[in-house]
Amino acid sequence: MKVALLGLGLMGLPIAHRLVHCGHELITWNRSKERLKTAQDEGLNVTPSLTEAVTAGEVLILTLSDAGAINQVLFDPSVKPLIRGKTVLQMGTISPDESRDIGASVVDAGGDYLEVPVLGSIPEAKSGELIVMAAGSESAYHQTLLMLRGLGKEVEHLGPVGKGAAVKLAMNQLIASLTAGFSQSLGLIRAEGVEVEQFMGLLRQSALYAPTFDKKLKKFMEHDYSNPNFPLKHLIKDIALFQKVAEASGMNGEVANAILRILRSGQEAGYGDEDYSSLYEAINPGFDAETDTGC
Ligand code: NAP
């Protein structure tokens, strides 16, 4: 299948490599020249011309940061007429309404639209073990199912456009709230000088344990959030989207609001481009390594 992938960021680049590994004919495009050069140096087929990429692909995969970026790229006057007859797979995390609007505009332009937000990050993208939450056009789903199975260990069709985006926001709300909840408990354990391993041993035996706690523990212990797979700034975007959707549906948005405030204070403290688990530092400010007996 001829595929054009637009957006070679943290997720786009490994997904592109995975598509090549699975035997797809791939052309890639990125707005900034630096990322395009990296992709080229890594052996990917790249073009600096957006219209060339869109013309070449039967399937267009969007791995762009947000709905604003998608609208700018896909509905640029030079690109929109080229969408006719193409299948658009939207992989970024956006809201159900944003996805429905983009989907409707794709269909208006004569294309087919499937939203396919994913759970998992760079390692899962590289190994083809993402969780793929497809929703939208059945024909686009069947056309691309084999390709999606190369990217994801779980590929499910969830219904009309918006359902995949909703499930993805629900998942990312859990990323934020589980990490915030664990950060609070771990902060208390360290402040009280309890042995962290003793606490973890008990937690692991309980129904409260989540694997993400151990995945992030080293970062919390070392206060090192560098080389992120998923930066804090993207989680802020996602929780802001969650909060908007939750409040519009009549839900009490206080929990999401509180988490969003914590995340934003982390960004103000300079953690925006660091791993999202740096929210630990916003919850436990004033940490002093000298007195942290829990390490
Ligand atoms: P990223 O590393 O920040 O990459 C963002 C991409 O979007 C870059 O290629 C960037 O191009 C492009 N872009 C942004 N604004 C643009 C514009 N106005 N016009 C053209 N291109 C634009 O983000 P990422 O981590 O790959 O995430 C991409 C999407 O997947 C996001 O919605 C994110 O929430 C979601 N997601 C991420 C992860 C993860 O673990 N990282 C996991 C699942 C889902 P430039 O190089 O020109 O800036």
At 74-85, the pLDDT tens digits run 999 999 999 999
Choosing from 109, 130, 159, the residue where a domain stops is: 159
Ligand 1 within 6 A of CB of 31: yes
Task: Give the model's pLDDT for residue 287.
Answer: 64
Based on the fold, state whether residues 155 and 177 are members of the same structural domain: no
| Distance of CA 232 from the midpoint of ligand 1 (Å) | 13
Q: Whose CA is nearest to atom 17 of ligand 1?
A: 69
User: What CA–CA distance (Å, rounded) separates 168 from 162?
Assistant: 10
Task: Give the model's pLDDT for residue 292.
Answer: 54
Based on the fold, state whether residues 174 and 286 are members of the same structural domain: yes
Mean pLDDT of 271-280: 98
* pLDDT surpassing 60 at residue 288: no
**Domain containing 209 — which CATH number?**
1.10.1040.10
Based on the fold, state whether residues 265 and 148 are members of the same structural domain: no
Q: Which two tokens stand for residue 159?
A: 């219904």
Q: With 0-12 CB in 10 A as exposed, 13-18 as middle and 19+ as buried, what is 207? A: exposed
User: What CA–CA distance (Å, rounded) separates 295 from 292?
Assistant: 6
Ligand 1 within 6 A of CB of 118: yes
User: What CA–CA distance (Å, rounded) separates 274 from 269?
Assistant: 11
Choosing from 131, 159, 187, the residue where a domain stops is: 159
| Distance of CA 280 from the midpoint of ligand 1 (Å) | 24
Judge whether 96 and 162 are in contact, CB under 8 Å: yes
Based on the fold, state whether residues 149 and 267 are members of the same structural domain: no
Q: Which two tokens stand for residue 278?
A: 């740096």
Number of domains in the chain: 2
Tens-digit pLDDT profile for residues 143-152: 999 999 999 9
Percent of the chain at pLDDT exceeding 70: 97
Coil, strand or helix at 136: strand
Give residue 277's domain range: 166-291
Based on the fold, state whether residues 178 and 282 are members of the same structural domain: yes
User: What CA–CA distance (Å, rounded) separates 160 from 115?
Assistant: 9
Task: Give the model's pLDDT for residue 230.
Answer: 95
Based on the fold, state whether residues 37 and 179 are members of the same structural domain: no
Task: Give the model's pLDDT for residue 293.
Answer: 47
Predicted TM-score (pTM) of the model is: 0.94
* pLDDT surpassing 80 at residue 291: no
Based on the fold, state whether residues 155 and 172 are members of the same structural domain: no
Counting from 1 in the atom list of ligand 1, the atom nearest the Cα of 35 is 46
